[in-house]
Amino acid sequence: MTLEDGAVRRFRDFLGQSVPEPPPEGMWLGKYLLKREVARGGMGIVFEAEDPKLKRRVAVKVLKETEAGAEEVARLHREAAIAAQLRHPNIVPIHEVGMVRDDADRCTHYIAMDFVDGRTFAAVVRDPAVARGERLRMLEDVARAVAFAHSKGVVHRDLKPENVLVDTTGRVALTDFGLARSESFQTRLTASFTVMGTPAYMAPEQVKGLLPEVDARTDVYALGVMLYEALVGKPPFQADVPATLYDHILHREPARPTELDPSIERDVEVVCL
């Protein structure tokens, strides 16, 4: 099916489903042949796809039609531009940011990137078969990727286990720079966007909305939360109500990992806290 035959319209109808289903056989988005849906979030859907000309697997992140306002499209393009400047073995490479139109002149926006065949670090943390030392080795590689981004003037601002992919060999790859800040890119996106993050991994300055203080140290805090979770299986603070969680982040001290698991090395605990 070609774009002229209505493939983009068909794809847009597929994006509007409330219940995820496999993409119909032969569905194309631009030059990419979609294989299956691999993730679905608040703003986008990620597909495993194939680039037939280059004979390679790719991941295609597509902006949902309901989220495709001018600001959201700008965020998508900004995410691609920031990630594309970061060439590192532990950061997912970006191939293309693009847009296709259907026969009703409606646009679908997407990013194409390397496909990582594996699972998220969140799944690794939940897997008792993965040794603690291996989890720490993975986090060390994540820290290297974050340090490289910082050296290029990029702050991720949404570090969490779900944004770290682990392939079948154990190699980690940092992804999703949708909330990143870069010294190379000026933005007029809303202030609410700049303070967004995932509550359990947000640093106190993010919780308070102190924009000038959200910098590389914010990522270091999130790495500490991820290390804590890798050690004990849960973040340092949890609550059903966001306001309660924010209060805990601002005013409480976390339990020491060695109190929850005496087998944890104290040197690792010192790094974590």
The string of pLDDT tens digits covering residues 13-29 is: 665 555 455 565 568 88
Per-residue pLDDT, 23: 60
Q: How many CA atoms within 13 Å lie on the side-chain side of 139?
A: 27
Return d(Cα 256, Cα 273) in angstroms, integer: 8
Return d(Cα 49, Cα 271) in angstroms, integer: 40
Residues 99 and 146 in one domain: no
Residues 79 and 162 in one domain: no
Residue whose token pair is 């140290």: 217
Per-residue pLDDT, 129: 96
Residues 123 and 95 in one domain: no
CATH number, domain of 56, equals 3.30.200.20
Domain count, the chain: 2
* Domain span holding position 147: 118-272
pTM of the entire structure?
Answer: 0.86
Residue (of 217, 193, 197) closest to 207 by Cα position: 197
Residues 20 and 133 in one domain: no
Residues 56 and 34 in one domain: yes
Average pLDDT, the chain: 87
Residue (of 181, 42, 34, 178) closest to 115 by Cα position: 34
Tokens for 160, please give them.
């969490």
pLDDT tens-digit series, residues 41-83: 777 889 999 999 999 999 999 987 666 678 888 888 999 999 9
199 pLDDT exceeds 90? Answer: yes
Q: Are 47 and 37 in contact (CB under 8 A)?
A: yes
Residue at which a domain ends, from 114, 146, 171: 114
According to DSSP, the β-strands at 118-120 and 164-167 are antiparallel
CATH number, domain of 224, equals 1.10.510.10
Residues 35 and 145 in one domain: no
Q: How would residue 248 be classed by pLDDT, with cut points 50, 70 and 90?
A: very high
- Residue 116 φ/ψ, nearest 5 degrees: -100, 110
Residue 129's CB is within 10 A of a number of other CB atoms, namely 6
DSSP state, residue 91 = B
Per-residue pLDDT, 9: 61
Residues 70 and 127 in one domain: no
Residues 163 and 233 in one domain: yes
Per-residue pLDDT, 16: 57
Residues 108 and 238 in one domain: no
Residues 96 and 70 in one domain: yes
Per-residue pLDDT, 27: 84
Q: Which of 141, 158, 176, 219 is catalytic?
A: 158
Per-residue pLDDT, 2: 44
Residues 160 and 257 in one domain: yes
Q: What is the mean pLDDT of residues 93-117?
A: 89
Residue at which a domain ends, from 91, 114, 137: 114
Return d(Cα 107, Cα 124) in angstroms, integer: 37
Verify whether residue 158 is a known catalytic residue.
yes
Residues 39 and 18 in one domain: yes
172 pLDDT exceeds 50? Answer: yes
Residue at which a domain ends, from 114, 143, 170: 114
